[in-house]
Structure 1
Amino acid sequence: MVHLTIFQLQKQTSAEPLSASFDVQLERKSERETRSGKPYYEMVLVDATGQMKLKVWENLPQFKALQELDDGVLLRLSGEWTQSQYGIDSGKWDMRLLNEEEGQAFLAGDAETKVRQDADWQSILDMCGGIGDPRLKRVCADFIDRYGDRFRRTAAARKNHHARRGGLVEHVAQMMRSAQALCAVYPDLNRDLLTAGVLFHDCGKMWENSYPEVGFTQPYHLHGEMLGHIPLGIETANAIWREMMQEDEAELWDELNPKSEDVHLHLLHLIASHHGTHEWGSPTLPRTPEAMVLHYVDNLDAKFEMMRMGYESQPELAPGIQERQFPLPSNLVKPLGHFETADHTSLE
């Protein structure tokens, strides 16, 4: 029996049973009923690499055991796992609580994920450190000093993409790389503004999708529920900017062009417009080239992550065709491989 993460389990399971164990935190359990009135539990299970759901039927011994378990407990699940269009399931499995040593190892996180997120965080620091405009460089540095730890344990979403501890770091780092690459193609873009806008665009999710200092359960926050991440992001950027402008250093910026109040306004516009449409939650529409680029690199990176998830977890409907990954609009088709040159040796 192999021991896997949730990500590995989702990637490796198929219609054929896979004998495996995996450690998880029980984010929550909810008691439900089928259309015929048969009760079951739906478990939402999380680890450092992602999330999965598992149904526990009334005739299983785990159904009664779940009644005694609180949300947040650490578990090891073992069994013969299969995957279908309805997700991962097993006809024969068991679960137990992790002991203290196992729990500490689990809470330390998946090593591969940590290495990747550490590298992405360093990329963010490097790109923000390379900002030339002293006001944007300073507001990014102040934000990172104040919120860096919380930012690093925040997800980019609750379920659709980068929905894991540290997922926001992965999302923002890739967006910054994409944005900076586009600045080379469209040199009129304001690279400094775009880099700062990417850092701040989803910072309000620290009150929507943040994780506690220990653990992988994603709680709900009253501010996130009542305001949403765009107003919270605007408020966060505003507060840091205004405090920064009260310092003596700000007097040195009076003669800079563009004016500080214009830089401030354009940064707020990037946060406010990044969803692209009123229907998607933006209070205003993208009205500058930087706002348009930010919206599209945000959408592109989210869609690419959804496709990656689908290729790794969705069942195959036919050779080269996999089932749709929600919320993408259609089934996935295996991408075309890269062209490889053949090593032809001429005959003499």
Structure 2
Amino acid sequence: MKDTYVSDLQPNQIIVSDFLVQAKELRSKKAGGNYLALALSDKTGEVEAKIWDNVEQVEPTFARDDFVKVKGAVQLYQNRPQLTVHKLKRLEDREVDLADFFPRSARDPEEMWRELMEVVAAVEKAPLRALLEKILSKPEIAERLKLAPAAKSLHHAYLGGLLEHVLSLCRLTKLVVQNYRGIDADLVIAGVVLHDLGKIYELSYARSFAYTTEGQLLGHMILELEIVHKALAELPEFPRPLQTLLEHLIISHHGQYEFGSPKLPMFPEALLLHYMDDLDSKLQNMESLLKRDQASGVEWTRYSASLGRPLLDTQKFLSRSEPPPEEPGAQPESEPTDEVN
């Protein structure tokens, strides 16, 4: 187990601990010369780090995605911890416990898998249930889905995050369909289970979260259509119109052309899938940002490029010290006025 995690960092602290290098950039100092700007991480979060001295000697000794042992000083920069690195040494994989570095869902993956199987078993339309069971019965798909993050960084960006996201949408579906007549709940559930399944091949998560070559070239929608079509080849009686609806659910779930959706949602179930997916991903993103900056002591988080805004921590805002109440019967002070009687 690591000595110090990112979540443990306190101002004016000298630490020696192991981290994963998420980002590494050589930058120029204003006064001349170079420095290294790093993003170091473990399972509890990420911290900015700087190397100011001996940059030319240190820079070639490690790379992005390497594990490193660091000695440095924690400082506050813009009310958030930042690490000034004094010494750094690259580590071999065998020298670290990988469980210290990769964030995981708080839920047990096997427990989540059982919940998903219950959801699929409750699908009433036999063709949809048969398709979902066919896909999820593939051992490779099952193992990858239990482990995959839902995104590289935007939402549910931790091991098991994709399965957690899918189950959250399943629960949302059961609630929302009670409020709207005519919604085909089975069709929505099928879309929920399949809409991001291609991410098990789009993302690599053996070290830091990144895109695979397939993911970069094709994207998860194409990859999940391939998964669906392979399964459908084993189900020759599957209704062709139902296949078309499923394909549309997959390719339209981003909702807008500018968000990478080849088609806009064109029937209610597709629109519902898009908005539930957007809601769940954005709320989880907000939760992560607020948690990351919880120890900063400030009410506002850093600006989020993905959300296009900083976030207000309402608990910090509401817990501010209130001004003392006025004494009973006290008269307010008269205010200066420019009025002339």
- Which TM class, normalised by the smaller chain length? 0.7 to 0.9
The structural deviation recorded for 1:47 is: 4.0
Residue number in structure 2 paired with 1:68: 61
Larger mean Cα displacement after TM superposition, 172-181 or 33-42: 33-42
Residue number in structure 1 paired with 2:221: 230
- Out of 160, 163, 169, the residue aligned to residue 169 of structure 1 is 163
Question: In the aligned structure 1, how far is the partner of 2:170 from the partner of 2:257?
Answer: 24
Residue number in structure 1 paired with 2:338: none
**2:172 matched to 1:178?**
yes
Question: In the aligned structure 2, how far is the partner of 1:116 from the partner of 1:94?
Answer: 37
TM-score w.r.t. structure 2 length?
Answer: 0.76
**Alignment coverage as a number of residue pairs:** 313
Select the structure of larger CA radius of gyration.
2
Distance 1:88 1:207, change over 3 A: farther
Contact 1:155/1:210 (<8 A) preserved: no
Question: In the aligned structure 1, how far is the partner of 2:296 from the partner of 2:41?
Answer: 27
Contact 1:49/1:113 (<8 A) preserved: no
Residue number in structure 1 paired with 2:314: 335
The structural deviation recorded for 1:157 is: 1.8
TM-score w.r.t. structure 1 length?
Answer: 0.75
**2:21 matched to 1:26?**
yes
Larger mean Cα displacement after TM superposition, 116-125 or 202-211: 116-125
The structural deviation recorded for 1:286 is: 0.6
Question: In the aligned structure 2, how far is the partner of 1:111 from the partner of 1:325?
Answer: 20
Contact 1:23/1:74 (<8 A) preserved: yes
Larger mean Cα displacement after TM superposition, 295-304 or 135-144: 135-144
Distance 1:23 1:144, change over 3 A: farther
The structural deviation recorded for 1:56 is: 3.3
3-state DSSP class of the match of 2:68? strand
Contact 2:204/2:210 (<8 A) preserved: yes
The structural deviation recorded for 1:73 is: 3.2
The structural deviation recorded for 1:320 is: 3.8
CA deviation profile, 1:156-176 (whole Å, cap 9, x unmatched): 222222223332222222122
Structure having greater relative contact order (Cα 8 Å, sep ≥ 6): 1
Contact 1:78/1:95 (<8 A) preserved: yes
**2:293 matched to 1:295?**
no
Structure 1 unmatched runs, 5+: 254-259, 338-348
- Out of 245, 264, 284, the residue aligned to residue 285 of structure 1 is 264
**2:316 matched to 1:310?**
no
3-state DSSP class of the match of 1:67? helix
- Residue identity (%): 24
Alignment of 1:189-338 (within 5 A): 189-212=183-206, 216-245=207-236, 250=237, 260-314=239-293, 320-335=299-314
Question: In the aligned structure 2, how far is the partner of 1:174 from the partner of 1:328?
Answer: 20
The structural deviation recorded for 1:291 is: 0.8
**2:68 matched to 1:89?**
no
Contact 1:274/1:294 (<8 A) preserved: yes
3-state DSSP class of the match of 2:307? coil
CA deviation profile, 1:236-263 (whole Å, cap 9, x unmatched): 2222222232xxxx4xx7xxxxxx2222
- Paired residue type of 1:223: E
Contact 1:132/1:192 (<8 A) preserved: yes
Distance 1:158 1:83, change over 3 A: farther
